[in-house]
Amino acid sequence: MWKKVLIANRGEIAVRIIRACREAGLQCVTVYSTADKTALHAEIADESVCIGPPVQDSYLNMNALISACQNTGAEALHPGFGFLSESAEFAQLCIDNGITFIGPSPASISMLGDKARAKETMKAAGVPVIPGSDGAVTSVEEAKKIAAEIGYPVLVKASAGGGGRGIRRIDREDQLEEQMSVAKEEAKLFFGNDEVYLEKLIVGPHHVEIQIIADQMGNTVALGERDCSMQRRNQKVLEESPSPLMTPELRKAMQEAAVRAAKACGYYNAGTIEFLVDDDRNFYFMEMNSRVEHPVTEWVTGVDLVQTQLLVAQGKPLPFTQDDIEVRGHAIECRINAENPEQGFRPSPGKIRSLHIPGGPGIRVDSAVYQGYTIPPYYDSMIAKLIVHAPTRSQAIMKMRWALAEFIVDGIDSNIDFQLRLIKNKDFEAGTYDNTFLEKFLADSKNDKDNGK
Ligand code: ADP
Ligand code: MG
């Protein structure tokens, strides 16, 4: 149907999408900022258009992106993740200009972008949600009443939040008024919207998310789960599929809930439903978003997520049903970042003097860096995703150890050694870690260092 697709992103995800488009017989146009002239996604596309300086005026510049489509004749646009991928306004602007937005509908995006409203919709659809306020809370009195009902500690969360921002913990009633007003100010500052809602804090939860993909006829298929409990400041560091705490019954129940969630908002294209799971394996809906960056899911299910996105965006039906999906083996992904874990994970842009990427059976590296490339300081610090796949979890861990040991990036600081220490940790090996693990691990390493160990 289309001949050309424009990729409105950079880094490894842009390269990943270029590869999928090529396999589908499509030409690719990329866009780049003035800081990204030598970036891989700009070099390897069929055509590439400079759209302005970083950051606001390039990858977030809606009009420049639409013009780039018009000038190159691209009929569809893939937003990748981050940047404008979850902007209902941009999705609508593409449609208004006759460009297919490869993602969910603007209506679904705006519904899910309002987390308080999304939670209401899910609750009504019979998806278990974390106890909390029904929608947004406005007055402190109302918040106090709800918090007393659900029990402290509670979280106050920004309705428009994302990226781990706009979440505050409240342990006692006397902290509520102040924390709520801080949360509102933060929400206003970061998201331009000060609406907040209240939620019970689940103690020591596991972050387990279900990947779904849906076509425009309403066929919705769940593609297993990812355990993303290994987080630092609510940002994922390592993820794996299956989750170490998964059972066949729990997966079935969570997948069914995820499909109900997607259907409740008329969702099509790829989507992720994030849940918290407690130690008794109760699960609760947290939020749904449209990120596509999940090689571990691709590996255990054999589904190419980006190819499937291209199909469903063209109005074609899903080429598989739920019965075709089987989770096979175990996959782990480590995010390789240009940062210094010894110095509070300070970003480390600069020139990559030498680079050696691991390989061999069961190893995949999605990256956009090359030897001699200079990482600009304007963007997030992820430089590669290292993914391994093996028949069992312990074999996957062993493979990851050696893949990390083989990975060399010189000239900048990276978190490779840090990931290696995580992978070797006994609690990780036992699969008993939860969302609170990494902060404790970091505190312990700091104490060891302070004590000269
Ligand atoms: P964001 O939109 O920023 O991703 P989420 O609502 O997904 O926000 O929450 C981010 C992270 O915060 C979760 O992955 C989880 O670790 C933690 N979190 C969120 N809500 C709760 C809760 N009710 N109890 C415990 N932890 C939570
Ligand atoms: Mg989230």
Question: How much is the average pLDDT of 97-101?
Answer: 98
Six-digit token pair at 414? 């990276």
How many whole angstroms separate alpha carbon 310 and alpha carbon 320? 15
Task: Please check the confidence at residue 258 and state whether its pLDDT lies above 80.
Answer: yes
Question: How much is the average pLDDT of 375-394?
Answer: 96
Looking at the CA of residue 166, tell me the nearest atom of ligand 1.
3
Residue 436 one-letter amino acid: T
pLDDT tens-digit readout, 132-151: 999 999 999 999 999 999 99
Centre of ligand 1 to C-alpha 235, Å, is 10
pLDDT-based confidence at residue 453 (cuts at 50, 70, 90): low
Task: Please check the confidence at residue 426 and state whether its pLDDT lies above 80.
Answer: yes
Question: How much is the average pLDDT of 115-135?
Answer: 94
Q: Is 56 exposed, middle or buried (0-12, 13-18, 19+ CB in 10 A)?
A: exposed
pLDDT tens-digit readout, 4-53: 999 999 999 999 999 999 999 999 999 999 999 999 999 999 999 999 99
How many whole angstroms separate alpha carbon 359 and alpha carbon 365? 8
Looking at the CA of residue 157, tell me the nearest atom of ligand 1.
6
At 397 the pLDDT is: 98
Phi, psi of 25 (to 5 degrees): 80, 20
**Residues flanking ion ligand 2, Cβ below 5 Å:** 274
Centre of ligand 1 to C-alpha 140, Å, is 22
Does the beta carbon of 130 sit less than 6 angstroms from any atom of ligand 1? Answer: yes
Centre of ligand 2 to C-alpha 162, Å, is 6
Nearest-ligand number for the alpha carbon of 228: 1
How many whole angstroms separate alpha carbon 331 and alpha carbon 248? 17
pLDDT tens-digit readout, 393-421: 999 999 999 999 999 999 999 999 999 99
Centre of ligand 2 to C-alpha 431, Å, is 21
Angle made by CA atoms 396, 426, 330, in degrees to the nearest 5:
20
Does the beta carbon of 201 sit less than 6 angstroms from any atom of ligand 1? Answer: yes
Q: Any residues with CB less than 8 A from the CB of 279 and at least 6 apart, and which?
A: 204
| E strand or H helix at 192 | none
Q: Are strands 220-232 and 235-241 parallel, antiparallel or unpaired?
A: antiparallel
Is there a contact between 54 and 35 (Cβ–Cβ < 8 Å)? yes
> Which one of 117, 278, 279, 286 would you pick to mutate in the ligand 1 pocket, going by the greatest count of ligand atoms within 8 A of its CB?
286
Is there a contact between 76 and 100 (Cβ–Cβ < 8 Å)? yes
pLDDT, averaged across the chain: 95
Task: Please check the confidence at residue 274 and state whether its pLDDT lies above 80.
Answer: yes
How many whole angstroms separate alpha carbon 310 and alpha carbon 307? 5
Centre of ligand 2 to C-alpha 451, Å, is 36
Question: How much is the average pLDDT of 85-95?
Answer: 97
Ligand 1: which residue has its CA nearest to atom 21? Answer: 201
Which residue, among 428, 358, 360, has the nearest Cα to 394 in the 3D structure?
428
Ligand 1: which residue has its CA nearest to atom 19? Answer: 286
At 446 the pLDDT is: 80
Does the beta carbon of 155 sit less than 6 angstroms from any atom of ligand 1? Answer: yes
> Which one of 130, 167, 272 would you pick to mutate in the ligand 1 pocket, going by the greatest count of ligand atoms within 8 A of its CB?
167
Six-digit token pair at 224? 């297993």
How many whole angstroms separate alpha carbon 355 and alpha carbon 301? 30
At 292 the pLDDT is: 73
Question: How much is the average pLDDT of 170-189?
Answer: 94
Centre of ligand 2 to C-alpha 274, Å, is 7
Does the beta carbon of 161 sit less than 6 angstroms from any atom of ligand 1? Answer: yes
Which residue, among 297, 293, 287, has the nearest Cα to 265 in the 3D structure?
287
pLDDT-based confidence at residue 55 (cuts at 50, 70, 90): confident
At 378 the pLDDT is: 96
Task: Please check the confidence at residue 355 and state whether its pLDDT lies above 70.
Answer: yes
Instruction: Cite the active site residues.
Output: 291
pLDDT tens-digit readout, 204-248: 999 999 999 999 999 999 999 999 999 998 789 999 999 999 999
CA dihedral (6, 8, 11, 15) in degrees, to 10, reads -20
Question: How much is the average pLDDT of 382-401?
Answer: 98
At 234 the pLDDT is: 79
Does the beta carbon of 207 sit less than 6 angstroms from any atom of ligand 1? Answer: yes
Does the beta carbon of 114 sit less than 6 angstroms from any atom of ligand 1? Answer: no
* Backbone angle region of 59, left / alpha / beta, with phi > 0 → left and psi within -120 to 50 → alpha: alpha
Is there a contact between 39 and 66 (Cβ–Cβ < 8 Å)? no
Task: Please check the confidence at residue 447 and state whether its pLDDT lies above 90.
Answer: no
Ligand 1: which residue has its CA nearest to atom 22? Answer: 201
How many whole angstroms separate alpha carbon 407 and alpha carbon 396? 16
Helix axis angle, 106-113 to 88-96, nearest 10°: 170
Does the beta carbon of 204 sit less than 6 angstroms from any atom of ligand 1? Answer: no
Q: Is the pTM of this model over 0.85?
A: yes
* Neighbouring-strand partners of residue 177: none
Is there a contact between 423 and 404 (Cβ–Cβ < 8 Å)? yes
Number of H helices, E strands in the chain: 15, 22
Centre of ligand 2 to C-alpha 1, Å, is 34
Phi, psi of 240 (to 5 degrees): -145, 155
Nearest-ligand number for the alpha carbon of 277: 1
Q: Any residues with CB less than 8 A from the CB of 335 and at least 6 apart, and which?
A: 236, 237, 238, 382, 384, 385, 415
Give the rounded distance of the alpha carbon of 178 from its chain centre: 31
Ligand 1: which residue has its CA nearest to atom 9? Answer: 164
pLDDT-based confidence at residue 452 (cuts at 50, 70, 90): low
Does the beta carbon of 131 sit less than 6 angstroms from any atom of ligand 1? Answer: no
Centre of ligand 2 to C-alpha 207, Å, is 9
Six-digit token pair at 322? 């739920």
Ligand 1: which residue has its CA nearest to atom 11? Answer: 234
Ligand 1: which residue has its CA nearest to atom 12? Answer: 234
Looking at the CA of residue 203, tell me the nearest atom of ligand 1.
25
pLDDT tens-digit readout, 285-340: 999 998 777 999 999 999 999 999 999 999 999 999 999 999 999 999 999 999 99
